[in-house]
Chain A
Amino acid sequence: MPQPSSPSIAALSLADLPGRDVAVRHLRHPGRWISGGIVVLLLALIGHAFAVGQIQWLVVGQFLTAGVIITGFGWTLLISACALVLGVALGFAFGIMRLSENPILRFAAWLYVWIFRGTPVLLQLLIWFNIALVFPRLYIPGLVDERMVDVVTPFVAAVLGLGVNEGSYLTEVVRGGIGSVDSGQKEAAHTLGMTPGQTMRRIILPQTLRLILPVLGNSAIGMLKFSSLAATIAMGEMLNAAQRIYFINGAVIELLFVCAVWYLAGTTILSIGQYYLERHFGRDAATATSERRWFRGWARRPAVEGEA
Chain B
Amino acid sequence: MNLAIKAVGIRKSFGNHEVLKGLDLEVAYGEVLCILGPSGSGKSTFLRCINHLETPNGGYVWVDGAIMGYELSRGALQELPIKKLRAQQSQLGMVFQHFNLFAHRTVLGNVIEGPMVVRGLSRAKAEAHAMDLLEQVGMAGKASSYPSQLSGGQKQRVAIARSLAMEPRVMLFDEPTSALDPELVGEVLEVMRNLARGGTTMIVVTHEIGFAREVADRVVVMIDGEIRETGAPGQVLSNPADPRVRSFLSRVLA
> Does B104 reach chain A (CB closer than 8 Å)?
yes
Q: Which residues does chain B contribute within 8 Å of A182, judged by CB atoms?
A: 100, 103
> A180–B166 Cα gap in the complex (Å)?
28
Judge whether B102 and A191 touch: CB under 8 Å.
Answer: no
A201 closest partner in B (C-beta): B117
Number of A-B contacts (CB under 8 A): 82
Cβ of A289: which chain B residues have Cβ within 8 Å of it? 144, 146
- CB-based contact B148/A285 at 8 Å: yes
By the criterion CB–CB under 8 Å, are A195 and B82 in contact? yes
Q: How far is the CA of A224 from the CA of B146 in the complex (A)?
A: 36
Cβ–Cβ contact A285 & B82, under 8 A: no
Q: Is the CB of B86 within 8 A of A194?
A: yes
Which residues of A188-204 are within 8 A (CB) of B?
A: 188-196, 198, 202-203
Are B166 and A193 interface neighbours, CB within 8 A?
A: yes
Contact A203 B149 (CB under 8 A): no
* A-chain residues with CB within 8 Å of residue B114 when the two chains form the complex: 192-194
Interface bin, chain A: 20 to 34
In the complex, whether B147 has a CB less than 8 A from a CB of chain A is yes
Residues of chain A within 8 A (CB-CB) of B94 are: 187-188, 191
Q: Are B102 and A187 in contact (CB under 8 A)?
A: no
The answer to whether A210 touches B104, judged by C-beta atoms less than 8 angstroms apart, is yes
A191 touches B104 (CB 8 A): no
Contact assessment for A195 and B83 in the assembled complex, using a CB-CB cutoff below 8 Å: yes
Residue interface bits B114-153, CB-to-A below 8 A is 1, else 0: 1001100000000000000000000000001011110000
* A191, B146: Cβ atoms closer than 8 Å: no
Give the CA-CA distance A286 to B150 in the complex, in Å. 9
Those of B48-91 within 8 Å (CB) of chain A: 51, 53, 82-83, 86-87, 89-90
16 A-B pairs besides A193-B90, A193-B118 with CB distance below 8 A are: A184-B96, A185-B103, A188-B162, A191-B51, A191-B89, A191-B92, A191-B163, A192-B89, A192-B118, A193-B87, A193-B114, A194-B113, A195-B82, A195-B83, A196-B82, A285-B148
